[in-house]
Structure 1
Amino acid sequence: MRTSAVVAVATIVAALSSGATFALVRGVGAMDMGGASHAAGIGADTTGDADVDFARDMIVHHRGAVAMAEAQLAEGDDPELLAFARQVIRDQGAEIEMLETWLGAAPR
């Protein structure tokens, strides 16, 4: 798993340094870092508005992180990772709320 994350980061850095658009980078990140269910939500139904698409994609991304953290709480044993999982749920949950609020107020 770490190898695929390193490859994904390297791919994204290379894409950004070559002037790639956010949409291209978004597809790479979804495929290499989040798995099939994560990829199905990221980049789906793009609006053409970079801000809206970013907010929507980040919500999908954060929900995936929350689901992973909940699985860690249910199955994990390591105190440090359990504490981290609780922090992820708290922090990412707050960010999801902020993004959903922003999307609700975004001019279209």
Structure 2
Amino acid sequence: MNYRRTLSALSAMFVAGALIAACSSSGSSHSTMTTMAAAIPATANFNATDVGFAQGMIPHHAQAVEMADMAIATSTNADVLALAKQIKAAQNPEIETMTGWLQGWGQAVPSTSSMAGGGHDMTNMSGMMMDGMMSDADMKRLESSTGTAFDRLWLELMIQHHEGAVRMSQDELADGKNPDAKALAQAIITSQQAEISKMNALLAALPS
């Protein structure tokens, strides 16, 4: 009887393991960075700068996505629309990546809801400034704009927003410890500096 019970227990463990593996494979469409984040154990090397970077960049990215959605809904400029879609496609997966890190590290994950109109302050959960964030007044001004005036204001605010993200990422590179967090910081610097250059060119091309 004991032998049969042992076999039954082993079979149950095998089935459970197979189910877990199947569930894991269903997420293969996520970005490589998100997959890497999910694999980081709670004991991974990290410091307060890494935590502050993730906790600050999540709502920072969430506001950029919200601004991108506003452009997609409002702008008729093909270049602005393409850039807004590019920003949204890049930053949503990065939010998932950083959320996975914080969960793996046993740290609090900040809310990403209603970044524009909820009266949020400009600091993250560690008390660090979220550089370049738009105020409620900025977002309301953007919401009330249309046409070329919207495109110009959107580009100006997004440049400011990107410059803040670059500075936050530079701080992570200087003082962070976790290699994956530092790699993402470098990726943000590279991609957003390129987007800043593009936005400056788009601003210059807008009709006066």
Could you give the per-residue CA deviations for residues 23-75 of structure 1, whole angstroms, max 9, x where no partner exists?
Answer: xx4xx38x63745763578839x695111111001001000000000000000
What residue is the counterpart of 2:176 in the other structure?
76
**Deviation of the 1:98 alpha carbon:** 0.4
Give 2:23's aligned residue. none
- 1:83 match: secondary structure: helix
Structure 1 runs (4+) greater than 6 angstroms displaced: none
Residue identity opposite 1:43 in structure 2: D
Q: Which residue of 2 aligns with 1:32?
A: 120
TM-score with structure 1 length normalisation?
0.65
Superposed CA RMSD in Å reads 3.0
Counterpart for residue 43 of structure 1: 138
The question of whether the paired residues in 1 share the 8 Å contact of 2:132 and 2:165 is answered with: no
Q: Which has the higher contact order (CA 8 A, sep 6+)?
A: 2
Structure 2 unmatched runs, 5+:
1-54, 56-108, 124-128
2:197 to 79, 94, 97: 97
Q: Which has the larger radius of gyration?
A: 2
TM-score with structure 2 length normalisation?
0.36
Per-residue deviation, 1:95? 0.5
Q: Provide the rounded CA distance (Å) in 2 between the counterparts of 1:105 and 1:95.
A: 15
Which structure shows the higher helix fraction?
1
User: 1:11 maps to what in 2?
Assistant: 114
Secondary structure at the aligned position of 2:120 is classed as helix
Deviation of 1:77 after TM superposition, in Å, equals 1.0
Counterparts in 2 of 1:81 and 1:59: CA distance versus 1, 3 Å: same
In the alignment, structure 1 segments of 5+ residues that lack a partner are: 13-24
